[in-house]
Structure 1
């Protein structure tokens, strides 16, 4: 398969080289077009940043990074291809800061997302309460209709324009993961797909580009949608774990404290409860370890209560069951744990 990609790349017609246009970008123009290579290189160094600033003026307020003299040059070079349902962009962008500030009376709605895939460099975005720091390998999504600000170092990677009309069925999920690092096996699959797609853009006919645009939009929607659902599920399980943990710790001495009792009291299904505790060895195991730890702390903490009484106080009906479980957990008996505390007190 890799040989096929190499062959296709060698046979590809080089994209048209175009000086970066001097007029602001019209992001709503998504009519299919072959790949073009835009660059600030044809311009004199002192002009390059101002041309880039004008090009982005309809979308962002851009500025050079602090301490950078933009008259010394500002290198931007990227391949772009309108695939009707997706605008595919890949290239290198000089370090810069940017902002999309609120201008409610002046700014029309921009029904687009940008999907980033970082190959080198770093990016920082801030919007609302979310702050993102993306390093090489990261993929993330931002909405151009949100107010945001940020910066990039010298950046190399992909930036895909996603018109909302092509993602209507998944719009809610895409909005929910804006300004978050996307992760999971499906996101890794999407990254692999986009890297391979980039190699073939130059050999595709206009019809193939349109078909590939539809297929790419469907794949992005599916991968991001499922990733959003997985992240939401993970957040729900974390919240459920915390609720259950607080209940368990408040009722450790209750003999009736069982996984079924926890599920009933929290009004959740046993399966959801078990999933929330899967990474800590299950609900029953968690309850047992918490009871043993609490009993251990009381044994070595200076109390004069009998071992049997301590066992009862922490939810064990039989002292013998407590002693066996204690030895399995700590490698010594409850009396040995207490004796060790006393010896330490004498020697101190």
Structure 2
């Protein structure tokens, strides 16, 4: 079972900058590992009241943790003294959403912004800083569990090095950021989706380490790559099995086999289009059913009506009226 903690910290009239940073340091330490957090100007007393703001929504799933975390300018550091107080080593994966950050570890220095991620090994000292109004999704995976699952060694992973989030890695990052958001909202779906999260993380990290073999044999990673492509292209009524298989680097047979957990390739496409159509039907306005059918990727309104009634047990018009 997962559990979540959310908090907002601000300095202001009732809270001095020093007290705000102390509260924030305690929250970050509890969510991740023991470390120090200080103002970027080097002293809490030099920060004008009301200028420090920070938020965290942290969810601990069965196999890993995910947090949406953001703050104004700050410095962080983890020393050998902090490490000595820890009973567990983690790999931290920082996916930047807004603002910029920098990190130093083991002689490497990373400076990154949105569209990149960075790996941090908590068993070794590190130091870094976040620019004003920076927000990221921070994932933490027990290092021993990750290494046992993938067969990787810490030296295989490029710590404190900006890594571009694109291709398969972008698919995994989108899934994990969405999972962190669901966890922050205490959405029950987060617990169900988290079952694939660790395997997706392990597959993505294997790709980063240059071990494509693990990723190719990761069912969760293959499933998410297929589902992501279908989500991005389902509005095209001419989308074919061959197109999706080629885009995902699979044979037609492998694609069909991978889609068995969805009930088949056709079922995956149908459900994705229906979800889009339901979202459009919930929106206010008088958009015609023919327009909605086309926008969701159905060949025509008649096909849309038939599939919707078969799957939902009601007509699109009845669903819209019920949603209103």
Q: Specify the TM-score bucket, using the shorter chain as the normaliser.
A: 0.5 to 0.7
1:157 aligns with 2:136: yes
TM-score normalised by length of structure 1: 0.50
CA distance in 1, matches of 2:9, 2:128: 22
Deviation of 1:45 after TM superposition, in Å, equals 3.0
Structure of larger gyration radius: 1
User: Which consecutive unaligned segments of at least 5 residues does structure 1 have?
Assistant: 1-30, 232-348
Aligned counterpart for 1:225 among listed residues 190, 203, 206: 206
CA distance in 2, matches of 1:198, 1:55: 17
Secondary structure of 2:41's counterpart equals coil
Q: Report the equivalent of 1:37.
A: 6
Aligned counterpart for 1:180 among listed residues 161, 185, 191: 161
Q: Report the equivalent of 2:67.
A: 89
Secondary structure of 1:124's counterpart equals strand
Following superposition of structure 1 onto structure 2, how do residues 95-174 of structure 1 map, counting pairs within 5 Å?
95-103=73-81, 106-154=84-132, 155-167=134-146, 168-170=148-150, 172=152
Following superposition of structure 1 onto structure 2, how do residues 199-214 of structure 1 map, counting pairs within 5 Å?
199-201=181-183, 202=185, 204-205=187-188, 209-214=190-195
1:52 aligns with 2:24: yes
Deviation of 1:63 after TM superposition, in Å, equals 1.0
| 8 Å CA contact 1:166, 1:217 repeated in 2 | no
1:72 aligns with 2:41: no
Question: For residues 67 and 140 of structure 1, do their structure 2 counterparts lie closer, same or farther at Cα, with a shift above 3 Å needed?
Answer: closer
Question: For residues 67 and 190 of structure 1, do their structure 2 counterparts lie closer, same or farther at Cα, with a shift above 3 Å needed?
Answer: same
Secondary structure of 1:72's counterpart equals coil
Tell me how many residue pairs correspond in the alignment.
Answer: 198
CA distance in 1, matches of 2:35, 2:84: 14
TM-score normalised by length of structure 2: 0.54
Deviation of 1:144 after TM superposition, in Å, equals 1.0
Deviations 1:123-171 (A, max 9, x none): 1111112111112221111011111111111211211121224422236
User: Which consecutive unaligned segments of at least 5 residues does structure 2 have?
Assistant: 213-324
CA distance in 2, matches of 1:135, 1:105: 27
Aligned counterpart for 1:191 among listed residues 166, 173, 179: 173
